[in-house]
């Protein structure tokens, strides 16, 4: 009887083209799953949890709250792809991408196609107008992502919807996500959606959720008041560029003792610290369900 029920469920899934979620049963009723081809994220622990990386031909998503390290993780994925010689595309819905951070993350910018959406500016302060603008920006971003997936020339296509209003995201028709999955099927490419909350992924894709662990790791403050007097100490002229930058942290105590170095080191931003959890439909034998700690260094 259980075998008949299982056969019925499998037939139903196949009819809905969701058979990628099926797990073939091995001996003694233990599910045996072959590791499918995957695009590595560049993070060893996360790759182990993912069974090699993001599954090819599937839509996956990276979700998390603000400052949870979601963008840093996405940049790491893109950097790993460009290091493999692939080309990547980023659909930046609200034009929030920072090329400087991307270069520091290791992305080969020459291999990156950046599609800039409408700038996330206070151009529509009223709620109704803002939502209308967000709807328009999201619709364009979805079209651009669809075009990129249809071209089939990029190893990773990332769609950044992290700052989209939830009301606007709820108005996105489900057929859009289904279209992505259909287009991506069979390609040696990965689609990654960046968002605040889970919104869509393929049946064979993965959802990576990030949760910040401790803000205290990110920022340390000695609590000492800074010196009111600032003096410009360090300056640089790099190749004709101009700019002067000064921390101001040690100013007011020139010629200080070596202990001042420790005092200074407390006053810098050090990075992000988050827990990464992986959610999937498929089973990966031997995969650890414990969260992976992600530290994004500044």
Site for other proteins in 170-209 (CB under 8 A): none
Which span sits near other proteins by CB under 8 A: 16-24, 26-34, 200-208, 288-296? 288-296
Q: Which of 2, 28, 100, 170 binds other proteins (CB under 8 A)?
A: 100
Span 2-31, contacts to other proteins by CB under 8 A: none
Q: Strand, helix or coil at 217?
A: helix
The two beta strands, 112-116 and 59-64, are unpaired
Please say which residue, 3 or 241, places its beta carbon nearer to other proteins. Answer: 241
Closest distance between other proteins and the C-beta of residue 188, in Å? Answer: 9
Please say which residue, 20 or 70, places its beta carbon nearer to other proteins. Answer: 70
Q: Which of 9, 32, 151, 283 binds other proteins (CB under 8 A)?
A: 151
Q: Which of 54, 146, 51, 133 is nearest to 91 (CA)?
A: 146
Closest distance between other proteins and the C-beta of residue 285, in Å? Answer: 18
Please say which residue, 55 or 212, places its beta carbon nearer to other proteins. Answer: 212
Please say which residue, 203 or 284, places its beta carbon nearer to other proteins. Answer: 284
Q: Which of 146, 137, 188, 207 is nearest to 165 (CA)?
A: 137
Find out whether 265 and 187 touch, Cβ atoms under 8 Å.
no
Please say which residue, 80 or 203, places its beta carbon nearer to other proteins. Answer: 80
Site membership for other proteins, residue 79 (CB under 8 A)? yes
Which span sits near other proteins by CB under 8 A: 22-30, 83-91, 179-187, 277-285? 83-91
Closest distance between other proteins and the C-beta of residue 26, in Å? Answer: 26
Structure tokens at 149: 């997936």
Quick note: the x/- pattern for other proteins over 38-77, rule CB under 8 A, is: --x-xxxx-x-----------------xxxxxxxxx-xx-
Span 204-263, contacts to other proteins by CB under 8 A: 212, 215-216, 218-221, 225-226, 228, 230, 232-236, 238-251, 254-256, 260-261
Please say which residue, 37 or 288, places its beta carbon nearer to other proteins. Answer: 288
Closest distance between other proteins and the C-beta of residue 236, in Å? Answer: 5
The Cα–Cα gap between 58 and 39 comes to: 11
Determine how many CB atoms are found less than 10 A away from the CB of residue 140.
15
Structure tokens at 7: 């056969």
Query: What φ, ψ does residue 117 adopt, rounded to 5°?
Result: -85, -160
Find out whether 78 and 112 touch, Cβ atoms under 8 Å.
yes
**Which sign, positive or negative, has the C-alpha torsion 167, 169, 171, 174?**
negative
- Decide: residue 194, CB within 10 A, 0-12 exposed, 13-18 middle, 19+ buried: buried
Closest distance between other proteins and the C-beta of residue 121, in Å? Answer: 4
Q: Strand, helix or coil at 31?
A: strand
Q: Which of 6, 269, 283, 285 binds other proteins (CB under 8 A)?
A: 269
Please say which residue, 179 or 295, places its beta carbon nearer to other proteins. Answer: 295
> How many degrees, rounded to 5, is the angle at CA 53 between CA 50 and CA 57?
110
Find out whether 50 and 204 touch, Cβ atoms under 8 Å.
no
């Amino acid at each position: 009887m259980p075998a008949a029920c299982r056969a019925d469920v499998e037939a139903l899934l196949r009819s809905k083209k969701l058979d990628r979620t099926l797990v073939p049963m091995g001996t003694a009723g233990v599910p045996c799953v072959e590791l499918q081809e995957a695009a590595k994220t560049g993070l060893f622990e996360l790759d182990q949890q993912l069974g090699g990386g993001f599954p090819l031909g599937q839509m996956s998503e990276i979700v998390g709250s603000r400052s949870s390290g979601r963008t840093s993780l996405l940049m790491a994925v893109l950097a790993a792809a460009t290091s493999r010689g692939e080309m990547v595309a980023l659909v930046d819905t609200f034009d929030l991408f920072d090329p400087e951070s991307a270069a520091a993350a290791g992305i080969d910018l020459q291999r990156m196609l950046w599609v800039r959406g409408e700038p996330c500016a206070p151009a529509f302060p009223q709620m109704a107008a803002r939502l209308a603008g967000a709807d328009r920006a999201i619709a364009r971003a979805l079209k651009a992502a669809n075009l990129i997936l249809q071209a089939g020339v990029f190893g990773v296509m990332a769609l950044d919807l992290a700052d989209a209003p939830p009301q606007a995201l709820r108005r996105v028709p489900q057929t859009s996500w289904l279209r992505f999955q259909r287009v991506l099927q069979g390609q040696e490419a990965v689609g990654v959606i960046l968002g605040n909350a889970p919104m869509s992924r393929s049946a064979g894709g993965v959802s990576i959720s990030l949760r910040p662990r401790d803000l205290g790791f990110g920022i340390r403050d000695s609590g000492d008041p800074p010196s009111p007097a600032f003096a410009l100490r360090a300056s640089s002229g790099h190749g004709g560029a101009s700019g002067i930058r000064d921390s101001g942290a040690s100013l007011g105590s020139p010629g200080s003792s070596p202990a001042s170095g420790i005092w200074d080191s407390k006053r810098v931003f050090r990075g992000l610290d988050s827990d990464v959890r992986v959610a999937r439909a498929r089973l990966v034998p031997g995969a650890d369900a414990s969260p992976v700690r992600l530290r994004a260094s500044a």
